[in-house]
Amino acid sequence: MQDNLQKLGIFAGRGLLPMMLIEDCRKKNRSFKVFLLQGEEYEIDYSAFNPTVLAYGEVEKFLKILREENVKNLVFIGGVTKPNFSSLKVDKTGTILLAKILANKILGDDAVLSSVIKFFEKQGFKFLRIDELLDCVVSKKAILTKTRPSQSNLDDIALGVNAVKYFSKFDVGQSLVVAQKQLIAVEALEGTDAMISRCKNLRQNSVLIKMKKAKQSMKADMPTIGIETVKNCAAAGMDGIAIQANSTLVLQKDEVIKMADELGLFLTVI
């Protein structure tokens, strides 16, 4: 049976993406099982989908339900709060996974996420990329808005691309802000929106650059922008946004482009 027909295990985090995927599954008559993370603050009510709520350490329960529900394909989708791994309560199988996580923790979040994915893949499950499931990635390099970047903006974007490549080695910098050939801000643990807010009025003609890090897995935690990103950039006085082709999710793409046009921002795919 093809992957797009098999039952899908959806481990949902925060944000709009999980519900977008659920609605897509329902539209395509694809069966799915929803899992939620205990203690996470969800903006959306998933109770209508009979979700299973799991604590971080309940790996055996997770595997048992996946096999009982005949789930072969998995997706981790949405943001989650990173736990204190050293104080987690875990079951026997969780102990094995936790050891792998702690062994990779020094290498950064990308290495931790990759170790989790590899663990479940060895258990016989396949992780699907979000862009394999939802049509929200722009594949061609293009300017999507009526407003176009200036030559100064293009120079800043080029600087930002090199900066992302550099900061990747430190497992930070999925997003950054550049203005007038100066790096203004680099995204760390606070997230894109918080980084944008602290750039307000710092420098005119600034640009948000959103790209995947050099060794970042495409099976989870893909760079993402949405309507709120555009609104926040406008509120911070930015000129526009540059995203990476084939690597950045654009939620509600048509609405994002329309909003950028209304606010006078450019959106370019590099």
236-268 confidence digits (pLDDT tens): 999 999 999 999 999 999 999 999 999 999 999
Residue 218 pLDDT class (50, 70, 90 cuts):
confident
Output the pLDDT for position 189: 74
Find the mean pLDDT for residues 175-189: 91
How high is the mean pLDDT of the chain? 90
d(CA 6, CA 28): 12
Average pLDDT over residues 84-113: 79
- Provide mean pLDDT across the span 173-179: 90
Mean pLDDT of 214-218: 71
CATH classification of 142-269 is 3.40.140.80, yes or no?
yes
Q: How many CA atoms lie less than 13 Å away from 59 in the CB half-sphere?
A: 18
Per DSSP, helices labelled H in 129-181 are: 130-133, 151-167
Q: How far apart are CA 196 and CA 237, in angstroms?
A: 10
Q: What percent of the chain has pLDDT over 90?
A: 67
pLDDT at 1: 41
pLDDT tens per residue across span 46-90: 999 999 999 999 999 999 999 999 999 999 998 888 787 777 889
At residue 107, does pLDDT exceed 70? Answer: no
Vertex 244: Cα angle to 252 and 229 (nearest 5): 45
Q: Quick check: 200 pLDDT over 90?
A: no
Is 102's pLDDT higher than 90? Answer: no
Identify the pLDDT of residue 30. Answer: 95
pLDDT at site 171: 72
- Sequence spans of domains, the chain: 8-133, 142-269
- So what's the pLDDT on residue 106? 55
Euclidean distance between CA atoms 239 and 253, whole angstroms? 19
The structural architecture, per CATH, of the domain 8-133 is 3-Layer(aba) Sandwich (3.40)
> For the chain, what percentages of helix, strand and coil (3-state, to nearest 5) are there?
40, 20, 40
